[in-house]
Chain A
Amino acid sequence: MIEIKNLHKSYKMGSNSLHVLKGINFSVKEGELVAIMGSSGSGKSTLLNILGMLDELDEGSYDLDGVEIKNLNETKAANYRNKFLGFVFQSFNLINYKNAMENVALPLYYQKVARKERQEKALKYLEQVGLKEWADHLPSELSGGQKQRVAIARAMAAEPKVLLADEPTGALDSKTSYEVMDLIQKINDQGNTILIVTHEPDIADMCKRIVHLKDGVIIEDKKVEQVRAAQYVQ
């Protein structure tokens, strides 16, 4: 599903250049649930942003579902982001003047799905994350965990090939974190490919594979026995 080879990325700040990713080789198959771990500043987000086509790589190659991601114009990039990728952010990134349902329906709007169908689908996904009754609430009326569940519903609404989550539990307490992880595991159980950036070992243990990043290279890449989050919920 994802295939990257010899990926390099540096940030230029004036005359200085910060080499963040120094040759990453890594691939993900369909249905995997991968945790990307590493200490703060190790380049996890940078990697995820490149995978999510929010940022561009300097060197190396990136194939997503057999399509080479290279020199795309913004229209094409937007189209791929819309069809192939779903994002979940640490800070939720809901649009604050739109209610839960409208937020979830947004990616469908960009796909030009008709209004009625959009609303039905959005409600279906909200139901899956257990927030159907909150459909007409604004983000400001939701708790952190609820916001993240809306964000997950929104990321899934366009039925992407890969779900990318950057510290999805970073702003949540541990109980809520486990609820969110439980949801992510269930989505993965349905066959969806998911990558999660985290620096919390207990969250990483709930995935099926852990990739460890340090100083811009992968120092460890192992399969793990998945810890089910459901046991911590309720």
Chain B
Amino acid sequence: MFNKDRWKEILEVLTTNWFRTVLTAFGVFWGILILIILLSAGKGFQNGIMVDFGDIATNTMFMWTQTTTKEYQGLPKGRRYNFKVEDVAAIKDQVPNLRFVSPRNQLGGFGGNNNVVRGIRAGAFNVYGDYPEYIKQDPMTITSGRFLNYNDINEKRKIAIIGEGVKRELYEEGEEVLGSYIKIQGVSFMVLGTYKKNSNNGDGEEGQKEVFVPFTAFSQAFNRGNDVGWMAITAQDGNSITSLKEKVMDVVKANRRIHPEDDRAVGHFDLYEEFGRIQSLFGAITFIGYFVGILVLLSGIIGVSNIMLIVVKERTKEIGIRRALGEGPWSIKGQILMESVFLTIISGMAGISFGALFIYGVNALLDSVGPVDMFLNPSVSLSVVVSALVILMISGLLAGFIPANSAIKVKPIDALRTE
């Protein structure tokens, strides 16, 4: 089937009417081009959003205190309260399938006063009291030294892990960081590590300007007693935090004497649910890309099919002659199918290449104008290209199917009689 004469004939047929062939090819070219562009735009949007999540473990929720909104056990509504260290143990105890329950305390914040001082330098940074597990919930790369460990927790060591952004503001270039001291609200901590995070929160700068100290040392140094500001809770793989969060909050409500139906007393942000919502949005965008692309492609395929019908009609007599000389029906069908697949694939490849060029151009443009909000690095994966080729192959066969059958539907003698 795949011999030289076959290919020679296919080329002869397709090149006898260049203009017509190119016009036909354009339909398929356009369809695949649109498919590729839509899918890559969807991907760019997805990349743009995903970068905001950074590396954070998505099966995680954050939980903080708000004021109560219902009276309960003689306690008034509008009451302020704090999580306590015991709550952490109670949650771990009573809610199964949780991987990490990290209590956290926090100092400082956006645009606050300078709270960290080193010599004559100072800056306003977020300072967290944390447990060693936290690095697994919000992954960061330790660029020197180490992260917190349980000895730090148990011995309430006054040590700190600082972000690269903090280091830049408090240290000279090349100055030794590890072993040096910084003052956090007047209390000295020894720096034992530096970290870097993959950008989250868009600009990515804020994430590098954090200071982590042992939870216990934090509580002691800043007089938090048993209080816990908020918690980061991650479920085990195979369990979603969304399905476990009710139980977690019930434990907290019971411990803190909050009305069981007072849902507004405990604030939370469920990353998993948020992530799932965004994932399904991307799913929908990809689906629309395929749907629209394939519809456009379909009109191109119909064009090919139409032209193949005309080609078959024009060549009725020739096909009659070939059948009289003994060419089998499958050979004739095969040739028409191959012509159709060949035309489709060639024009599709042109569409894919042109689409790739287009994406390359857009990326170059994005690079030169700097990052755009919610859009990053539009691209198509190899799997998309492969599925586009498979779609083309199938389309070509479909496009050739009716013409191929019509070619051998007429009796040879009737085919010979046509002029």
Contact = CB atoms under 8 A, between A and B. Distances in A.
Interface of A: 49, 52, 54-56, 74-75, 78-83, 85, 87, 89, 93, 95, 97, 106-107, 109-111, 115, 154, 158
A91 B83 CA distance: 100
A83 B324 CA distance: 11
B326 A54 contact: no
Interface string B6-33: 0000001000100000000000000000
Contacts of B330: 75
Contact of B411 (A54, A80, A89, A115): A54
Contact of B412 (A54, A106, A110, A111): A54
A151 B401 CA distance: 32
A228 B342 CA distance: 53
Contact of B324 (A74, A81, A109, A111): A81
Interface string B314-357: 00011001111111111100000000000000000000000000
B80 interface: no
A49 B413 contact: yes
Given A54-B416, A75-B328, A106-B327, 5 more contacts: A54-B324, A74-B408, A81-B326, A89-B416, A93-B324
Interface of B: 3-5, 12, 16, 317-318, 321-331, 408, 411-413, 416
Nearest to B412: A54
B324 A110 contact: no
Contact of B413 (A54, A78, A83, A95): A54
Given A74-B408, A78-B328, A110-B331, A93 B323 contact: no
Pairs of residues from A and B, 10 with the lowest C-beta to C-beta distance, nearest first: A82-B326, A54-B413, A81-B326, A78-B328, A55-B413, A74-B329, A54-B412, A110-B327, A107-B325, A93-B321
Contact of B329 (A78, A85, A87, A97): A78
Nearest to A111: B326
Contacts of B326: 78-83, 85, 107, 110-111, 158
A79 B413 contact: no
Given A75-B328, A110-B328, A81 B323 contact: yes
Nearest to A96: B318
A96 to B, nearest CB: 8
A110 B5 contact: no
B324 A52 contact: yes
A89 B12 CA distance: 25
24 contacts: A54-B324, A55-B412, A55-B413, A74-B328, A74-B408, A75-B329, A75-B330, A78-B323, A78-B326, A78-B327, A80-B326, A83-B326, A85-B326, A89-B416, A95-B318, A97-B12, A107-B325, A107-B326, A110-B322, A110-B328, A110-B331, A115-B3, A158-B325, A158-B326
Contacts of A106: 322, 325, 327
A76 to B, nearest CB: 9
Contacts of A109: 5
Q: Which label, helix, strand, loop or mixed, suits the secondary structure of the B interface?
A: helix
A106 B5 CA distance: 10
A85 B329 CA distance: 17
A52 to B, nearest CB: 7
A15 B413 CA distance: 22
A81 B318 CA distance: 16
B325 A87 contact: yes
A79 B325 contact: no
A81 B16 CA distance: 29
Contacts of A110: 322, 325-328, 331
Query: Most chain-B CB neighbours within 10 Å: which of A79, A89, A93?
Result: A93
Contact of B325 (A49, A80, A82): A82
Contacts of B323: 78, 81
A79 B329 CA distance: 10
Nearest to A155: B325
B16 to A, nearest CB: 8
Nearest to A53: B412
Nearest to B3: A115
Contacts of B411: 54-56
Nearest to A105: B5
A125 to B, nearest CB: 14
Contacts of B328: 74-75, 78-79, 110
A111 to B, nearest CB: 8
A74 B333 CA distance: 12
